Amino acid sequence: MKLQSRHKKYLKALGITILAFILSCVMLSPLTFSASSMMSSPERNDFTINDFYNHVADKRLVRTLDRDIVIIDIGDSDREEIAEIIDVVSLCSPRAVGVDVVFEHPREDDSHLIQALAGCPNLVMATSVKSDQSGQHFIPDLQSFFMSDLPEATPGVINFPTTRRDVTIREFQVSYPGQRDTLPSFALAICEIAAPHAARILLDRTNHDEVINFCSRTYVTMSPDEITDRAEELIGKIILLGSLSRKEDLHITPVKSAMTGVEIHAHSIATVLNESYFYKLNKYWNWAIAFSCCFAVLAFSMFIPAGVKGVTMRAFQILILYLTIRYGYDLFINYHIIVNFSYSLLMITFGLLANDFWTGIENIIKHYAPRIKNLLKPKSKVYNLR
């Protein structure tokens, strides 16, 4: 008897979970709303629980000093000073040199700059792109005016997923398909020169974009005045030239409220070189986890006495929230797996709502079922024998 009662409770919990799933689909679809957009949005100043994981991990005392990448802060250097920097860099046998500067318009004397860049080995020049009229391909938008004079230089696209300043940069697009050729991102272009095997692994993943691994990684940085004295630190390195002080190039990232573009590119390149990729669970797995969590909460509630049910359920919800944060962090940091637990939190919320609906329907049926039964019951005829 007890076994049958337990099975009934499990079936009831399953029914309410299905109702919660239906409610979530019906109520959210008309609003063009999704569980993922509840926790993140690509077009507004947003926050995801993964940003929290990134922030906590980045504050750890143990940090990794990158051995492959050196950033040279050009600051407000003029073109002649940048040319002098490149002259020194070219003598250090760099694995790759990425210039995160666009020289859009010619000036009075650019001959030294063009000559220095032409003689720089393994050069990647920054370029930005925009969509063409079809919206399916990309064409160059901004690039250095002398690119045609640098046949050995590789263009690398520096676009980020959004142009808005208040949007968090979490990913970089791997490549940009053009009408004839596919343009590599700045990170991919650098890696194709400096680490072809790592670049091939990136392309074999066939992802449109990749999550940037920002956690606990720092880079050797130099000012122009330090280059000559520290030239040995540049030998065989990937050298990125960019400004670390330009306010117009500051972006929000999960670990910093203001990070320059060249630093974001450095993290993108390091992600590829170290193969420290994140793996996103697809929406079906996220919904399966959400469905299981909702069922577990509802099944647990079926066995709680009515008198302490409210307090116990609140405590259980807090426990679920703690486990979500604790094990979500562990999956994110130690295994590089991204689980969107916003689906689970959403389903639990709708589960409690569905439980109220279910209980209300049950009470209505219990109250009106006898009356309906009496109305439907055929009345017996009474015969008068007189």
37 or 21: whose pLDDT is higher?
21
For range 302-327, the mean pLDDT: 85
Residue 316 has pLDDT above 80, yes or no: yes
The gap from C-alpha 236 to its chain's centroid, in whole angstroms, comes to 31
pLDDT digits (tens, 9 = 90+) for 61-101: 889 999 999 999 999 999 999 999 999 999 999 999 999 99
180 or 46: whose pLDDT is higher?
180
Q: CA-CA distance, 156 to 150, in Å (whole number)?
A: 14
- Return the pLDDT at 61: 84
> Which runs of E-coded beta strand occur in 74-119?
96-99
In a 3-state reduction of DSSP, which class is residue 171?
Answer: strand
- Residues 75 and 243: beta-carbon distance below 8 Å: yes
Which residue bears the tokens 């193969």?
Answer: 275
What phi-psi label fits residue 341: left (phi over 0), alpha (psi between -120 and 50 degrees) or beta? alpha
Q: CA-CA distance, 198 to 188, in Å (whole number)?
A: 9
- Return the pLDDT at 31: 44
Helix orientation angle between 342-376 and 2-28, rounded to the nearest 10 degrees = 110
One-letter amino acid at 115 equals Q
Cα–Cα distances in Å, from 338 out to 92, 126, 278, 325?
A: 40, 31, 7, 12
Q: CA-CA distance, 186 to 100, in Å (whole number)?
A: 9
Looking at the DSSP bridge assignments, the partners of residue 131 are 138
- Return the pLDDT at 252: 93
Residue 239: both structure tokens together: 């050298």
Strand-strand pairing, 279-280 and 337-338:
parallel
Q: Which runs of consecutive H residues, i.e. helices, occur in 196-341? A: 196-204, 261-273, 283-302, 309-334
pLDDT digits (tens, 9 = 90+) for 162-215: 777 788 999 999 999 998 899 999 999 999 999 999 999 999 999 999 999 999
- Residues 341 and 284: beta-carbon distance below 8 Å: no
Residue 49: both structure tokens together: 């629980």
pTM given for the model = 0.86
- Residues 304 and 312: beta-carbon distance below 8 Å: yes
Residue 196: both structure tokens together: 């072809």
Question: Rounded to 5 degrees, what are φ and ψ at 214?
Answer: -90, -15
Q: Identify the burial level of 137 via C-beta atoms within 10 angstroms of its C-beta, where 0-12 means exposed, 13-18 middle and 19 or more buried.
A: middle
In a 3-state reduction of DSSP, which class is residue 172?
Answer: strand
pLDDT digits (tens, 9 = 90+) for 154-169: 999 999 987 777 889 9
Provide the residue count of the chain.
386
Q: CA-CA distance, 127 to 175, in Å (whole number)?
A: 13
Cα–Cα distances in Å, from 65 out to 73, 220, 243, 253?
A: 17, 7, 20, 19
- Return the pLDDT at 35: 43
Residue 370 has pLDDT above 80, yes or no: no
CA 247-252-256 angle, 5° bins: 95
Strand-strand pairing, 96-99 and 138-143:
unpaired
- Return the pLDDT at 39: 40
pLDDT digits (tens, 9 = 90+) for 231-285: 999 999 999 999 999 988 999 999 999 999 999 999 999 999 999 999 999 889 9
pLDDT digits (tens, 9 = 90+) for 283-314: 899 999 999 989 988 998 888 887 888 788 88
Q: Which of 72, 257, 245 is nearest to 169 (CA)?
A: 257
Residue 376: both structure tokens together: 């439907």
